Amino acid sequence: MPELPEVETVRRGLQPTMEGARISRVELRRPDLRFPLPANLRAALEGRQIVALGRRAKYLTVELDDATVLVCHLGMSGSFRIEAGDAEATPGAFHHARGKLAAHDHVVLHCLGSAGDTHRIIYNDPRRFGFMFLTDRAQMGEHAHLKGLGLEPTGNALDGAALARMLAGRKAPLKAALLDQRNIAGLGNIYVCEALWRARLSPKRAAGTLVRKDGAPTQRCERLAEAIRDVIADAIAAGGSSLKDYVQADGSLGYFQHSFAVYDREGEACRHDGCDGVIRRIVQSGRSTFHCPACQK
């Protein structure tokens, strides 16, 4: 499933075309994705101007000029692409043909730019695990899918003190605590593995052990907060990680997967200087965890 860096990359790819454009026509080629599409979706979108394209956790948000917000989740295989006139947007260096079979083009937004340029924003989803819903900007944080989401891992708000408040008293494994979306919004399996490796912390360690008795963060906790912010920033800069179904809006692939230190590297040598450990895969709560037992304590 695309994680936060992938969704942020999609947002940045769509933003120049969508922000400021007016939605002239909406094609709904099926009534549902993972859930039924809103019954008033076409009426709510047609004729409206897009004023901002945002992101909350793993959700893409399309804010309209009447304060309505279209919220999109990519699910397992969802992607957006941009087509201009009869041509498709120029693909990137890692382009491949996935995500273009017309049978899987389920929602098409016909957009008119301020300069009279026209584009089609096409949502393609072979597995149909993605979904879309409408909400009001003022009430967006109270929607069932968004309510209770934790801090974003992209800014200075996620520091050692904030992480200590999340982890204090927690006996659950550290990895499980980090994957809890009520703590950190949008942080997924790949980037938790990578951040724990950077911080040299075991995914099996009890989460509360990173917090002092008075609630203050330990040095390990400070190190982990920094590692989370850094790994997310690096992944966004690399355009995300192209695993299985993920692709950017211009048809290109992200390449952060070429920088993985532990994820999907079972049996390979640890990349920390001076460490002679070997990456091991374990299963936690039904999900693969990759770590180095030698240096992650």
Catalytic residues: 2-3, 58, 287
Strands 22-28 vs 131-136: parallel, antiparallel or unpaired: unpaired
Calculate the dihedral angle through the C-alpha atoms of 128, 134, 140, 142, rounding to the nearest 10 degrees. Answer: -80
Other CB atoms within 10 A of residue 288 CB: 14
Whether residue 77 contacts residue 127, with contact meaning beta carbons closer than 8 Å, is answered with yes
Beta strands (DSSP E) in the chain are 22-28, 50-56, 59-64, 68-73, 79-84, 87-88, 105-112, 118-124, 131-136, 280-284, 287-291
Widest distance between CA atoms in the chain: 64
Alpha carbons 129 and 71: distance in angstroms, whole number: 14
